[in-house]
A and B are shown apart, each in its own frame.
Chain A
Amino acid sequence: MPGIDECLSEAMSIAGARGVSLIDWSSGLSLGQAGTGPNGDHEAVAAEVTDLARAAADSPTFADPEDPRTPLRDLILTANASYHLLCFVDTVFDSRLVLYLWLDRAAGNLASARFRLQALAEELVLG
């Protein structure tokens, strides 16, 4: 049964993974991280991922108003050399968590990375 650390080290085994963190986007706290952050600073990453997740999940345009628990499944940002994947973690108890993966575009495969990240987010909660 994986805990936070196992989930993060497993995410780092995704091909092309540069860094991963589990972020509480209600407060902006990084609950755990592995690898490197895009600026070498996981704390700054947590703050910026929080802003992005909040902007999307609180937006009546993007979020599903019928499902307050998981208004969004994931967000994908494509930059020139990397992808940024934000996978929302669905828990029964109230939480606002996102699993963030910084993925190298040349070394990684977006579809498979997205699939694995979602599976990891589910395993973290369901065991």
Chain B
Amino acid sequence: MTATVGAPGETVERLAAAGATGALRGAGGTVYLVEGRVVHVESGLATGLATVLTACGRVSPATWLQTVRAYGPEHRVGRMLVERGHLTRGELELCHLDALYDAAFFTLTARTTTGVFEPGVRHWLGPVNLVGARALRRETVRRRDLLERIWPWPQVDTSPVRPGLADPRARQRLGPRRCRLLELADGRRTPADIARLLGRSAFATTVEIRRLAASGLVETPAPEPLRPAPPLTRPPRPVPQPPGLPSAGLPSRGPWSSEPRAFESAPAAPPPPGEPRRAARAGPGLLRRNPGESLAHPRQPRHAAVHPLSVHDPDVALLTRVLTALEDRL
């Protein structure tokens, strides 16, 4: 068992380059490698393979448990599901890739830079698809950028989902898939909870929630207030970085950190203040706060596009531009 230091995506690439076999456990999830290739990723924030296959009734929970119990110790669960006729090979591959990238998104965007690598540990599923570490990291960056483009308020990803006050006619145009999602938005469930209930990928659900938030059908909660940055502690044993890789690794703007995040908690890259995307529909009840004033209603504003500006906004905008420029060089 080895402690690792570095952004999760970067650590996975380093282990892959060394041809490692084992499990890298981090704050966001666990990445399983076999001879330098990623074979599986698991994250508590993503919808797992078992949930996707049992929620729709494709595999019964009893069959799943039985197969995992019988063939898990031999790391042959995937193969045996196919051999026993519970799934076709195509289904297993499709489902596995979806689950792998879904979990990788939440695992590699975790901001915690420490992890534990357990050499030789294999996943009970056994090999299904092999994915390169670099491809996995690139896809994670692409997914994070996709979310930013849809609606740049990451707090909607982890907050309980509340239906917004958009035009009721807009709901009728949603289609059954998104209606089902909104029906489960009770103000307590997070996007990950809804994804699990529906047996859908957590990332795909997050995409839908951001789209719904952008159209005002889901509320965008106010950003968390700024908190002081955690005291900097020196990592116990700095691990040398391979040349050519940026030391910051995968700069995550994801909100899945267990650590206090001074920068993330500020509004990230809001639409330019003068031109919110849906300004035309902003009602009179929306509050704007002058810099320095206290926020009278903590849950305001109710509409997505018009968050009160804070005195820190110019700094955040500048930092966001710098961050984006750095990411472009990755």
Show the binding face of A for B, using Cβ within 8 Å.
1-4, 7, 24, 26-29, 31, 58, 60, 63, 65, 68, 71, 89, 91-97, 123-127
Knowing that A29-B142, A94-B55 touch, tell me 17 more A-B residue pairs with CB under 8 angstroms: A24-B98, A26-B203, A27-B101, A27-B204, A31-B97, A58-B178, A68-B175, A68-B176, A93-B56, A93-B58, A93-B199, A94-B52, A123-B90, A124-B94, A125-B94, A126-B88, A127-B90
Name the B residues within 8 Å of A24 (CB-CB).
Answer: 97-98
Known: A63-B175, A94-B198, A94-B200. A27 touches B146 (CB 8 A): yes
> In the assembled complex, which residues on chain B have CB atoms less than 8 Å from the CB atom of A1?
82, 88-90
Q: Are A2 and B89 in contact (CB under 8 A)?
A: yes
User: Which residues of chain B are within 8 angstroms of A124 by Cβ–Cβ distance?
Assistant: 90, 94
Contacts of B198 in A (CB 8 A): 94
CB nearest to B95 among chain A residues: A93
Cα distance A78–B281 when bound, in Å?
38
**Residues in chain B within 8 A of chain A (CB atoms):** 52-53, 55-58, 82, 88-91, 93-95, 97-98, 101, 129, 139, 142-143, 146, 173, 175-178, 180, 198-201, 203-204, 207
| CB-contact partner of B56 in A3, A68, A94, A127, under 8 A | A94
CB-defined contacts of B57 to chain A, threshold 8 Å: 92
Check if A3 sits within 8 Å of B90, measured CB to CB: yes
| Chain A interface helix/strand/loop/mixed | loop
Give the residues in chain A near B203, CB-CB below 8 Å: 26-27
Q: Is the CB of A58 within 8 A of B175?
A: yes
Q: Are A125 and B101 closer than 8 Å at their CB atoms? A: no
Q: For B82, list chain A residues within 8 Å (CB).
A: 1
Contact A7 B201 (CB under 8 A): no
Tell me which residues across on chain A come within 8 A of B98, comparing CB atoms: 24, 95
CA distance A7 to B82 in the complex (A): 17
Q: In angstroms, how far is the closest chain B Cβ from the Cβ of A126?
A: 6
Q: Which B residues are CB-close (under 8 A) to A92?
A: 56-58, 91
For residue B195, give the distance in angstroms from its CB to the closest CB of chain A. Answer: 9
Decide: A3 and B175 in contact? CB cutoff 8 A: no
Q: Considering the chains assembled together, what is the distance between the CA atoms of A24 and B146 in angstroms?
A: 14
Is the Cβ of A95 less than 8 Å from the Cβ of B90? no
